[in-house]
Chain A
Amino acid sequence: MTGSTERRSEPILAVEELEVGFSVGDRTIRAVNGVSFSIAPSEALAIVGESGSGKSTTGLAVMGLIQRTKQVHISGQVRLKSKTGRVCDVLELPARALRQVRGNDIAMIFQEPMSSLNPVYSIGSQIAEAVALHRRMSRADSLARALELLEQLSVPNPDKCLVSYPHQLSGGMRQRVMIAMALSCEPRLLIADEPTTALDVTVQAQIIELLKQVQAQTGMAIIFITHNLGIVSEIAHRTLVMYAGEVVESVSAAELFERPGMPYTAALLQSLPRIAADRAPATKLAAIPGSVPSAGALPTGCRFHPRCAHFLAKTCDAARPMLEACAPGHWVRCHRWRDIGDFAA
């Protein structure tokens, strides 16, 4: 298994049995159910799933952005090893300590580079400000740091970029600026929530390449939240597939494409458009029938059973399957993984 040695080094983030639920009226919508994973330095973890699978909610919970209220229930643990070496549970941190974690230990970038920058400030002052939030620095020093970051991210004409305003930059440039802001305080973990979704394909590739480069230089861990399996193959060491709020498969990136264990994962892979010479051009793209169940009305048993091609009555709709190890470093949540997967029993 590739990357298994890295995985054995001490994790900087360990999420255990994370549960997030929202009360709407007298119903509770369970957005995230019992999600556990950990990530070590230099590791890239992809969390893959359709809209509504709970992947973004998981990311927000890790940032401590989901506040417990009467309507919002959150339990489990998000253990973070901070720069000082102390381990804390993000979910239990008071607001002030949480602000120390955000941007400093964990940084986050978002899907919309178009609106993620404040239109009234120049790029330089926005990056400098992000630096100054966690470092005591003079304005001149933080601007110098901003320039250094833009150079590191190979932004052409970084001096000019510093004094420009967000509306003067392209989407790709803005995402680079967002990454520069995220990297400004040398976080140990970067959460990238669909960072390339709003960008052109060529720019997507550049941004991914950039993130890989930064990771190689700094040893930062990256959690990639995406629905794009192409990105997974390019950057991730390990993949967590989520469906209807739960992890349905946890697998190394190489094995994900070779032998997916869960029918859902397999169906996702089949629905990827591919350029293949041996395939007739008229072949229809495979699609998964139906849609993701709403978190307020989950099916019994396996949550994927109504859409599954391998559905077996009285098995799949009876008990909720557990996450089982089907191969070393490969876990799958399916009653029938022995029958349908490519695993020696």
Chain B
Amino acid sequence: MIRAAARIGLAIVLLVAACAILAPAIAPYDPARSSLDSLQGPSAAHWLGTDELGRDMLSRVIYGARTSLLVGAGAAFVSLLIGAPVGLFAGYLGGGADRLAVPVIDLFIAMPGLVLALIITVMVGPSLPNLVIVLGLVMWPSVARLVRGQTLAVREMAFIEAAVVAGGSAGWIIRRHIWPNVARVVAAQFALTVSLAIITSASLSFLGLGIPPPTPDWGSMVRSGYDYIGVNPVMSLAPGAAIAFTVLGFYLLGSSVE
């Protein structure tokens, strides 16, 4: 059961990744090329129809995978970059470091991520690199909390005591002995973090604070399709389905490898 979920998740992720990498080869049109055939429903020429500028929806959805994966993986990586060291040091050193880190982590977790991301994005302005950093800043506390918990468990193991006795410094013990034992769980969490980042970035884009046009982005596509939902519902539904599909893939992968 769990194996099957992991396989399906992996298949979805690979499929989306293939779309992202091979986009120029498999997309039937240039995603930025507009034409006079605007707001058309699905047809043989345009499988998913066209948007308000006559751009091919299928091509835009395929290219959108690039943006989503880039933002998702990038944000998850940034959150790992901040969260893992904080969790490792707070968990291993304990004492003052831990008493400082835990309230900060709790404070960030208590705030709704989307609202926090909105506020920061408004301050720094929407762009792809900014989005990656902002989402990373919003999501690192859950990574830190997970890593800290795992570190506390590993710290009590006899081989850590043996490493102390062998003369290892705190940094060395964390790097060589704790991190490799914590990394497995973090890897599982990574996929979940990616799915959360994708859905949050899509929400930001839907609210108009995501990737600026003309870069094809699923969240922004759902937003622009929303204005024409009575005329051409596929314009919103297709990128929406792509978001759901991708998030499901990462979620299945992340929640089943633990």
Contacts and interface: CB of A to CB of B under 8 A. Distances in A.
Q: Do A and B bind each other?
A: yes
A125 to B, nearest CB: 10
Give the interface size class of chain A: 20 to 34
Contacts of A115: 157-159
Contact of B177 (A63, A101, A118): A118
25 contacts: A63-B165, A99-B167, A101-B167, A102-B166, A102-B167, A103-B165, A103-B166, A103-B167, A110-B161, A110-B162, A114-B158, A115-B157, A115-B158, A115-B159, A116-B158, A116-B159, A117-B159, A118-B159, A119-B159, A119-B181, A120-B180, A133-B167, A133-B168, A134-B167, A181-B162
B168 A99 contact: yes
B73 to A, nearest CB: 25
A120 B159 CA distance: 11
Give the interface size class of chain B: 10 to 19
Contacts of A103: 165-168
Nearest to A119: B181
Q: Top 8 A-B pairs ranked by shortest CB distance?
A: A103-B167, A102-B167, A103-B166, A115-B158, A108-B165, A116-B158, A120-B180, A118-B159
Interface in B75-113: none
A271 interface: no
Interface in B148-176: 157-159, 161-169, 172, 176
Interface of A: 63, 65, 99-104, 107-108, 110, 112, 114-121, 129-130, 133-134, 178, 181
A306 B189 CA distance: 57
Contacts of B166: 102-103, 107, 130, 133, 181
Nearest to B166: A103
A132 B110 CA distance: 44
A57 to B, nearest CB: 14
B169 A112 contact: no
Nearest to A126: B159
Contacts of A133: 166-168, 172
Contacts of B161: 110, 116
Contacts of B177: 118
B167 A118 contact: no
Contacts of A104: 167
Chain A CB count within 10 A is highest, among B158, B165, B172, for B165
A181 B165 CA distance: 11
B227 to A, nearest CB: 54
Given A120-B180, A120-B181, A107 B165 contact: yes
Contacts of A129: 176
A116 B180 contact: no
B123 to A, nearest CB: 42
A86 to B, nearest CB: 17
Contact of B165 (A102, A118, A119, A121): A102
